[in-house]
Amino acid sequence: MLPTPRLLLLFLVTAAFAGVPGIGRTLAAALVLLLLVLTGLDWRLSRAGLALRAQRSVEPKLSLAEWNPVALVVFNGASRAMRIRVRDVPPVGFDIDPSSAAAGAPVTVGARGSATLSYRVRPKHRGDYHFGETWVRVEGPLGLVQRQHVLADTKQSVRVYPSLKQLRRYELLVRRGLLAEAGSNAIRRLGTSTEFERLRDYVQDDEFRRINWKATARRGKPMVNEYEAERGQNVVLMIDAGRLMSARADMPLREEADVLSQAEAPVGSSKLDYALNSAMLLAYVATLRGDRVALLAYADQVRVFLPPARGRPAFLKVVDSLYNLPADPVEPDHGLAFHFLASRNLRRSLAVVFTDVADRESAGPMVAHMLRAARHHFLLCVTLNDPTVTRPAAAMPSDAQSLYEKMVAQKLLDDRAAVLASLAERGIYTLDTDADKLSPRLIDAYLELKQRGRV
């Protein structure tokens, strides 16, 4: 039993009468007795709260770093209205929107009626989570006491995926024909293949081999052939889930930004979180382009493998395989991963490798395996800048300690640049960028490779 402020105030008033000489104490005793009787009656009547039921409405798949709506409907099966306070229990670690109107706010539920309370939650990490029980405090009809109940059957499991809302916004822009606004410059589907698309006027920077000399002579002006980009190619997402990918990216979260360039994960998210968001978006775009998508996630062993497949079912399998993939505190075995890929005997594919580079010595085996794999596939090596390295390297030293940190950071950056340059010199496409710029640049790179017919 929980007393209300009204009951406490009445007891204070009664105590004041006890200080009055003569009849004061008798009156105070009578009032106390009356209050006790009324409190017991109010407590008994508050048992009507046992007729309350609740139902939570929330998507089973929540988006990482996004505000996800939750609706809680409370049903009153009693024959009288009740004034209640509801406390829902979202998963531990979720942010709750302070502007939401649900947490503990008093609400009146009509007789045989219902009331809906809404709030928003923002997950900080991927994985499986659970909503707990819903607690309710029912105020008695006299407003003297509150009775607390647990509403049964409100426990609920949810999954937190990399940002699904990004995909919904991207798909909306695709349907509206606004791909240029989706963060990609290279949006044309035309590229190098053998399937003729159309003739058009020559423009600067067109390749001379595309000039149609017969059409040029016939029309009296330079004309070029355009070909439809080849479809049905393999895009293999190779995701390093080893030690280096667990490093935090520490990029600020922005509420309003471009559809793809907005922050993709909350502050403190790992490089793997950002890589998974971008890999999922790339899988989505590749399926839209008619390509087959495969997935290979690994650390010291192969964690997940999905063979090439096309269409929405293939994309959904990728999402289900990535949403709870953790980074292991072990060194990744790149040789094992590339050997596994070779054993699948896939035709020439675009292999997008999400990994990280620490120094030349540790990156040596990875480079060797990539060069070997590049004989059969076109490789795109994707790495993320480490803010704990780039910030000291760019800072102006103010003392000996900061000068030392700057020199060490610059050495690491030089080693990283040398490794990526060595890959680029041997024909491996590299993409090294900040975490919040990864998605648009990755999609641009994919579309550009498609347009050039490099895959």
The model's pLDDT over 237-265, given as tens digits with 9 standing for 90+, comes to 999 999 989 888 754 434 333 444 444 44
Categorize the per-residue pLDDT at 391 as very low, low, confident or very high, splitting at 50, 70 and 90.
confident
Strands (E), 78-214: 82-87, 95-96, 106-109, 114-122, 127-131, 134-139, 145-151, 156-161, 190-201
Question: Does residue 269 register a pLDDT over 90?
Answer: no
| Structure token digits, residue 401 | 């300690």
Residue 272: strand, helix, or coil? helix
Mean pLDDT of the 328-334 span? 93
The model's pLDDT over 397-427, given as tens digits with 9 standing for 90+, comes to 888 888 888 888 888 888 888 888 989 888 8
Q: What is the pTM of this model?
A: 0.70
What is the DSSP code (8-state) at residue 380?
Answer: E
The model's pLDDT over 140-183, given as tens digits with 9 standing for 90+, comes to 888 888 888 888 788 999 998 877 666 666 665 555 544 444 44
Lowest mean pLDDT across 22-31, 210-219, 254-263: 254-263
| Structure token digits, residue 318 | 């990728």
pLDDT of residue 440: 84
Categorize the per-residue pLDDT at 383 as very low, low, confident or very high, splitting at 50, 70 and 90.
very high
Q: How many CA atoms lie within 13 A of 404 on its CB side?
A: 3
Max mean pLDDT among 43-57, 198-212, 337-351 falls in: 337-351
Question: Does residue 381 register a pLDDT over 90?
Answer: yes
The model's pLDDT over 180-210, given as tens digits with 9 standing for 90+, comes to 444 444 444 444 444 556 788 887 767 777 7
| Structure token digits, residue 284 | 């989505």
Q: How many CA atoms lie within 13 A of 289 on its CB side?
A: 30
From the number of C-beta atoms within 10 Å of its C-beta (0-12, 13-18, 19+), residue 423 rates as buried
Angstrom distance (rounded) from CA 28 to CA 11: 9
**Long-range Cβ contacts of 385-392 (<8 Å, 24+ apart):** 385/432, 385/433, 385/434, 385/435, 386/247, 386/249, 386/271, 386/356, 387/249, 387/250, 387/251, 388/247, 388/248, 388/250, 389/413
Nearest to 146 by CA among 354, 52, 5, 300: 5
Residue 361: strand, helix, or coil? helix
- Three-state secondary structure string covering 194-259: EEEEEEEECCCCCCHHHECHHHHHHHCCCEEEEEECCCCCEEEEEEECCHHHHCECCCCCCCCCCC
| Structure token digits, residue 151 | 């509403």
What is the DSSP code (8-state) at residue 49?
Answer: G
pLDDT above 70 coverage of the chain, percent:
84
Q: Which ranges constitute the DSSP H helices of 95-208?
A: 164-175
